[in-house]
Every structure is written in structure tokens, then in C-alpha cells.
Structure 1
Amino acid sequence: MTDRMKKDGARWGAAVWAVGVSVVLAALPFAASGRLPDRLATHWDGRAPDGSMPLWAAALLPALAWAVLALSIAFAGRRGGSPSGAWVGASLLSGGVFLASAQASIVRANLDRADWKDAESVGAGVVITAVVAVAAGVLGWLAGRRAALPTVAVRPAAGDVMEIPAGERRVWLSRTSNPWLHLIGALTGLVAAAGTMVAAGGLIGVEWALITPFACASLGTLAFASVQARVTEAGLEVAFGPLGWPARRWAAGDIVSARVENRRPAQVGGWGYRLSGLGTTVMLRSGECLVIHPRKGSEFAVSVDDAERGAALLNALAAKQRTGA
């Protein structure tokens, strides 16, 4: 998986999120139009509403504001370079969650009211909206920071075991992501988010039969749409998802051998985290995989770039642990 493909996957995910939030912002008031007054309360002075907009403006203006904000963030991110990924993710997630939640609170407050002046207070909704938006921003920041971590390069190894000079330490790091799995995760997440916003707006009850399956599908897909493999003196760590969780770890001394092997999805039963006669394979793209043979359990393979150097370093560290050198 090339760096370009990884960036394209992130861009597609951001685009799906931006469009989805725009649709929710614009569609929610129109979907409830039969139960809303001609003008909607959109501003409160304490507990009482003191400002209003016609329904079309309450629907389209937030969507337009979000579109401008999302485009501005995307443009600034392109000019800011790779370290900007953390704040871009935080801004898109927190901004989208905040506006969508605020729109749901406004619709709920005006629901089944004959006049906008009779709208309910949105005090509790504002607090909940702020907390959820901050949490979403933190998650976006952590995911962006993890993706921006530099890859530590090591010298090419001669053969299957890397030669490590005395007194030196080597670290190997490689990442892989699948843009199609990211897109599926984003789409299923949007369905769950849309169902949640419609319920928060009071249009329907909380449809757990709809929200739960799509939310679980989104979280599960995104958790295994990207992977990071790291070899240090402690051994091998394979971390999944944008936050690096869950993760699997093997101590260097618990690994009998490591090698490179070309595998295809058809061999292991498909994409993602697969169990087959070959053992466990994390299959995100066809081609070379880092394969380890642990002392206990079946073999484990992960499809990452530069697997040859990772295997060579891991073999050297395993041999060092066994000899006590």
C-alpha cells in the first residue's frame, strides 16, 4: 500500500464525513417540517428563545456554514503538510458532531410547537453537544497524531538475519491501510450517526435495531482497516485501527523465526483479520507479508511494506534473546 493510496483513503473518508454531515444538517428540519412551526427558534437567551429563522434558512444555513468550514479545513490541511493531519481530523470530527448535534437539539426544541416562541430550552442539549464534540475532537487528534508518527528507517539487511553492531539499537516500523475498508466504515458510521441524530431530534424513537448493527459494523471495519507493525528489542507489536487498539504483542524470545511470504486474499479467506489453515493473517493488500512462527500458537502474518527488513531484524533480536548476548 503506497503512501498515495493511504492519503487517498483518508481523503475519501473525510469527504464522506463532510458530505454526510451536510446532508444531515439540511435534511433533518425538512424531514420534521410537518411537526414544526413556520419559523424555528434558533437562539436562546437563557431558557427562553429570542431569535428565529424560517425553516429553509434553519436547514440550509448550517449546512452551508459546515461546507465552508470543511473546505477551509481541507485547504489548510493540504498546505500545512503531514503534521497537520492531527488537527484536521480533530476539527472535522468535532465540528461535524457539534453542528449535527446542535441541529438535532433545535429541531427537538421546536417539535410540535405552534409558535417558535414556545420552543423548549436547549440548555441540556448544549452541554451534551459540547461534551460529545470535545470527545470526538480528542479522538480525531489522537488518530491524526498516530498516523503522523515518523517511520524509523533501518539499513538493508544482508540475508534473513540483520547484523546489529555492538552498542546499537534498531527499530523497524511499517503501516498499511485499505482505503476501501475505510470507505465502508465511514458509510456505515454515517448511517448509525444519521439514525442517532433523527432520534435526538425527536422524529422517531431510538431505533437500536438500526443504529447498533451499523455502529458495530463501522467500528469493527475501521478497527481493522489499518495496521501498524513495529519491531523493537521488546519484540513485535501489531496495532490495529487509527488509535492503535486493539494490539497483539510477542516478546522477541517467544518467536522461533520470522520470514517474508507473498499471500493473497483468496488464500486466507478474504480481507481483514482472517483465520485459515495458514494461521492468522491480517490481510489489507495482496503481496508481501511479515510472517512469524511463535513458540506457542499458530503462525501470524500481517501485510505490511518492507517486511524483509522487519523479519531480518526480528530474527536478529530473537537470536540475541535466546543466546543471552
Structure 2
Amino acid sequence: MVQRPPKFLRRLLLTAAPPLIALGAVRLTQTSLAGRLPDSLATHIGLSGRADRFASTAQFLFATTMMIGLLGAFFLVLVVVMRGNPHGQRFMVTGSFAVSTLLGLLHGVVLLSNLDVADATTVTFSGWGIAVPIVAAVLAGALGYALAGHVPAPERTGPLPEDAPRITLAAEERASWSQTMTTRLPLLGGGVLFVGVLTAAISVEWSVAIALLPALLLLITSSVRVTVDGAGLSVRLSLVGWPRKRIALSEIKVVHVKTIRPFKDFGGWGYRFNGAASGVVLRTGEALVVELTNGTEFVVTVDNAETGAALLNTLAERSRTLG
């Protein structure tokens, strides 16, 4: 019988593979097109729509290697740091797949745009040359997330600590709790889109497409729905419903409330990782802190967190009693 490598080792290998593949693909593309490329490559298009930065092939490949290689090393280091956080490792694999695909394809677009060009100053980059790598990066990230796999926490059978907050529920009584947390990110997204439209009106038409993606991402990720019910804890994006984070009652060790300061505790806002802790941090203030049976924590900032914590503890304890 063939033994599968541990999940950590598999995720380590999955994180390392995309940067190496991206670098190999760029190198292979350059080698195969070497005779059709100018001595000086156009590597950047300014707001005027004309090429304004140039580099030799050797310089271009060196910069590509450094950029993709350093980012790949960054993701590898984070996977090692998060050895005790399987969920965090999964997102590092996702990031490695997405970023490596994006950078590899963008650098490939640069080479193809310079193909058979006598004067590099005449090179232009089409909007499709930017849109396609972005779409491919999203798909690659989804593939990496799937390949990394989910590692469920072991089931807990013992009682919760006596001082854990609870609410009173009759044996046959059912209860659920839900809150929506919204930030001011849509305002930032609107600002990004405005800059893109303004730039397009002045000079670069395809800048709207570049601004549209981050603006949409800021809008989509600005609101989350937190739900506690008989299935456990669920956190999802309010506008699109995906991605969704689910924690089963059997995975919960105990739940409590803590005041979170985004920069001090997690280094910023959004979906964050901090050692063995991960979570959705959208503002300063009270948060549900779910201690899992695998030794990690999941944190989500939300209003009325005391009620959510008490209900989640009660439902988790009840599920063990009934089980």
C-alpha cells in the first residue's frame, strides 16, 4: 500500500511548484523566441500609452527570476511559519498558484508583445494581455486551494470549561444567531474605480479594466455574514455567498470573546493569519474567538459577539451530549 505524504509536506511541495513552473515557462518562451526579439525589450507602458521602460533580455530574465523567486520564497516561509495552522497553509498554496500564474503570464505577454519588433519604442500592450493573466490567476488560485485539501480538526468529546459563556436552551429547543458585518471598503473601491475612469478619459483607455477588478474585490469583500446554528459556525461574503468558512460543532474546543486590534493583532484588515490563528478582521472591536481542537484559533470581528459565543458553546456542548 502506497503511503501518502503528510499534508504539510504536500502543501510545501504545492507551494514550491508554481514559481518554478512559471520561471521555467518564461525561460522556455524566451529561448524559443530569442531570434525574433529586439536587443532592447519594452517592459512598461506609461500613462501616455507608449513604452517608457526598456531592458535587455538578460536584465528582463534576471528581474523576472528575482520577482517570482522572492515571492515564491515568501509563500514557502509562510507555510513553514504556519505549520500548526492547516487553514493558513491552504491559503498560502492558493496565493502561490495565483501569484505565480499572474506574474508568469504577464512576463510572457511582455515577450510576445516585443515579438518581431524592430523598434521597442513602438510596442503596445493590449487590454487582453492584462485581463487574461488575471482571469488565469483566479482559476489557478482556485485549483491550488482545491489541491491543498481540507484538514478537519479532530472531534472533541469532553465537556467545555465551566467558565465558558452559555445560554439556556431546553432539550428540544432550537436556536440560531446571525449578524452582518460591513466596512467602509466600498468607498475605497469607488475611489479606485474613479481614478481608473479618470485615467482612461485622459489617456489610457484600458485603465478602467485594471481599476475595475480591485474595485469589485473591495466591494465584494466589504461585508460578511456570520451565522451560528445547529451545524456550527459559518462565515461567508454577504454579496456573493462564497467563499464560505464552516466550523463544525465537533471541531470546537471553546468559544470566547476578545477585543481585536487589526494592526497589532493581525497586521491589518481582511482575511488574516497570525501564527496558529486565522480569521476575518474587518474592524477594531469585539470578536468571536473559536478555539479549535487542532490547537488553532479562528477569529471573526462582529457585533454582539457575546451572544454568538454563548450560543455556539451551548450548541457544541449539546452536540456532544446527544452524540
Please report the TM-score for the alignment, with normalisation by the length of structure 2: 0.44
Please report the TM-score for the alignment, with normalisation by the length of structure 1: 0.44
